[in-house]
Structure 1
Amino acid sequence: MTSVATSTWELVFWDDAGAVHAAVRGPETAASTVQITADSASFGITLSHGTSMPHLPVADLVDGQRESRHVTERTFLLGGKDWEIPDLDDAELLVQKLVRAGVLVRDPLVDDVVWGGVARVGSRSVQRRVAAATGLTQGAIRQIERAREAAVLLSAGALPLDVVHQLGYYDQPHLARSLQRFIGRTATQLRQPDGASTPLSLLYKPDDPGAS
Structure 2
Amino acid sequence: MRFEHRDVETDGCIVDRVWRTCSDSASTMTSAARTSCQLILTRTRGELLASVRGPETTATTAPIPPDAEFLGIRFALGAVVQPHPAASIVDGYATLPVTDSGRIIIGGEDWEAPTYENAEHFVRRLRDAGLLVPSDLWKEGHPGGDRSRRTRQRRYRVITGLSEAAVTQIDRANAAATMLRDGLDWRTVVATLGYFDQAHLAHALRRYVGHTAGGLRAGEVAAMSFLYKTSSQPGS
Structure with greater strand percent: 2
Aligned to 2:209: 183
Runs of 4+ in 1 over 6 A off after TM superposition: none
Native 8 Å contact 2:82 2:107 kept in 1: no
Give the gaps of 5 or more residues in structure 1: none
Aligned to 1:147: 173
The residue correspondences of 1:1-212 to structure 2 (distance < 5 A) are 1-72=29-100, 74-108=102-136, 110-111=137-138, 118-120=141-143, 122-194=148-220, 200=224, 202-207=226-231, 209=233
Aligned-residue sequence identity (percent) comes to 37
Quote the Cα distance in structure 1 between the aligned partners of 2:139 and 2:198: 29
Larger deviation, residues 181-190 vs 89-98: 89-98
Q: Deviations for 1:153-202, whole angstroms, at most 9, x for unmatched residues?
A: 100001011000101111110000000000000000000123x7x96473
Letter in 2 for 1:151: A
Q: 1:72 to 1:138 in 2, by over 3 A?
A: farther
Quote the Cα distance in structure 1 between the aligned partners of 2:67 and 2:87: 32
Larger deviation, residues 152-161 vs 69-78: 69-78
Quote the Cα distance in structure 2 between the aligned partners of 1:85 and 1:38: 21
Q: Deviations for 1:45-74, whole angstroms, at most 9, x for unmatched residues?
A: 111112113422543300000111224564
Q: Deviations for 1:27-55, whole angstroms, at most 9, x for unmatched residues?
A: 01100111112311101111111211342
Larger deviation, residues 78-87 vs 53-62: 53-62
Shift of 1:120: 4.6
Q: Deviations for 1:58-95, whole angstroms, at most 9, x for unmatched residues?
A: 43300000111224564201111111111122111111
Aligned length: 203
Quote the Cα distance in structure 2 between the aligned partners of 1:156 and 1:70: 40
Native 8 Å contact 1:4 1:30 kept in 2: yes
TM-score by length of 1: 0.86
Q: SS state of the match for residue 98, structure 2?
A: coil
Q: 1:160 to 1:16 in 2, by over 3 A?
A: same
Letter in 1 for 2:219: P
Quote the Cα distance in structure 2 between the aligned partners of 1:73 and 1:188: 47
TM-score by length of 2: 0.78
Larger deviation, residues 145-154 vs 35-44: 35-44
